[in-house]
A and B are shown apart, each in its own frame.
Chain A
Amino acid sequence: MTTDPIDRLLEAQAAIPDGGFTRRVMAALPPARAVPRPLEAWLLALAAGLVAAVLAPEAAGLGRALADGSAGLAGLALALSGSAGPTAAPPTLLAAALALGVAAVGSWLVARPH
């Protein structure tokens, strides 16, 4: 125990009662994020693959591979967003959206009349 009165004065920091502070912080937190569950993510990926297949029935070669690959990426990103916790969701969902976009554009380019 220190004998210096200045030390004692500085150390005598009474605990601050909560007084509703925790509730105030909890109210200020951002709302819960909608995180897709892995099963939902795989169903979405399956749907994305079906869409790619329907949009490009005649496609072959590189265009088809691009479309299918993009759909697969979308599924992977969605699955990750479902299992990696709340902080990882937005970037992976964004990646999924981008991949779906690439799939749609790729399918359209391949399927359009030449």
Chain B
Amino acid sequence: MAASDTELVARVLAGDDRRAFAELVSRHQSVVRGLLRRLTSGDAALADDLAQQVFVTAWRKLASWRGDARLSTWLYRIAWNAWSSQARRAPPVEPPPPDPVRSTEEAVLDHRDLVRALATLRPEERTALAVTYGQELTHEEAADLLGCPVGTLKTNVLRGKEKLRRLLAPGLEETA
């Protein structure tokens, strides 16, 4: 049976166990990199640089993780802080919006369309969608992570989704 996150963390703290930490990285890299890719509007290289920074910070501060929250939630918070610092230093360049005119053959949406469409949203709408979908966070946890009321988070999610619906309308019918 695989060791739990708590057991692996205890091994790292007790004896500088790098194999245990590698297991933690391997276990959580996908969701952390996924969140950062959405926050960086699909810039995979920047997202991976930030994700590396997240895990190095986690290694240094592992003793401050209290077992009352999931380790993934704690990692999301470090990822969010890393992204916020990065965005303050170098505001992201917005890519062009997706082409609304598509032929029938091109109409089926793929992940790149979504990434491009997400990049056109306001930052608070994009981050609300990024932390709400695919990250196993409740609305309360997501709002806590972003430091905003739950109502504000939900409003930003709804607005973001409506904009995506308008931007991706031609492909949505084929995808549905």
Contacts and interface: CB of A to CB of B under 8 A. Distances in A.
Nearest to A25: B55
A35 interface: yes
Nearest to A86: B16
Interface string B134-161: 1000000000000000000000000001
B75 interface: no
A5 B176 contact: yes
Interface residues of B, number: 36
A6 B161 contact: yes
B8 interface: no
Nearest to B113: A9
B114 A22 contact: no
A25 B34 contact: no
Which bucket holds chain A's interface residue count? Answer: 20 to 34
B102 interface: no
B16 A9 contact: no
Given A5-B175, A5-B176, A28-B56, A16 B33 contact: yes
Chain A binding surface, main DSSP class: helix
A101 B114 CA distance: 62
Contacts of B176: 5
Contacts of A18: 26, 29-30
A28 B29 CA distance: 15
A80 to B, nearest CB: 14
A5 B30 CA distance: 23
A87 B133 contact: no
Interface of B: 13-16, 18, 21-22, 25-26, 29-30, 33-34, 37, 48, 51-52, 55-56, 59-60, 62-63, 109, 111, 114, 129, 133-134, 161, 164-165, 168, 172, 175-176
